[in-house]
Amino acid sequence: MTLYSNQKMKLLLINKQILSGENMIGVFVKEGESIESVLKRFKKECVNAGIQTEIKKREFYEKPSEIRKKRRESAERKRKKKLVMLKKERNHS
C-alpha cells in the first residue's frame, strides 16, 4: 500500500492529535464483531469528533487575513439571514 504525500500528511496530523491528547478517539472491539463494523464505528466517531473537517481545514495554509475575511463574510451572511427571518415574522404577525 503506497501513500501519497497528501495522505501521509493527513495521517501524521491525526497521529499528532492523538499523541498530544486532543480528540483522542478509540473504539472497543466487541467479541465476535467483524472488522468492517469496527472500522465503520471508528469512522463515525471521527466524523462526530470533527477530525475530517479539521483535516480539510488544515490541508492548505491559510493566511490570517484570509481567515479574518472568511469570518467577516460568514458573520455578514448570518446577519442577513437573521434580518430576512425577522422580516418574515413581522409580515406574518
**pLDDT tens-place string over residues 75-84:** 999 999 999 9
User: How far apart (Å, rounded) are the C-alpha atoms in residues 16 and 86?
Assistant: 45
Q: Residue 78 has which C-alpha cell? A: 448570518
> pTM of the full predicted structure?
0.47
Based on the fold, state whether residues 5 and 39 are members of the same structural domain.
yes
Q: 27, 25, 17: which is closest to 57 by C-alpha?
A: 17
**pLDDT tens-place string over residues 64-74:** 999 999 999 99
Range(s) of the domain holding residue 71:
61-93
Based on the fold, state whether residues 29 and 52 are members of the same structural domain.
yes
Based on the fold, state whether residues 56 and 88 are members of the same structural domain.
no
The count of domains in the chain is 2
Handedness of CA 14, 19, 22, 23 (dihedral sign): positive
Based on the fold, state whether residues 56 and 68 are members of the same structural domain.
no
Please determine, for residue 19, whether its predicted confidence score (pLDDT) is greater than 60.
Answer: no
Contacts for 6 with CB less than 8 Å, ≥ 6 apart: 59
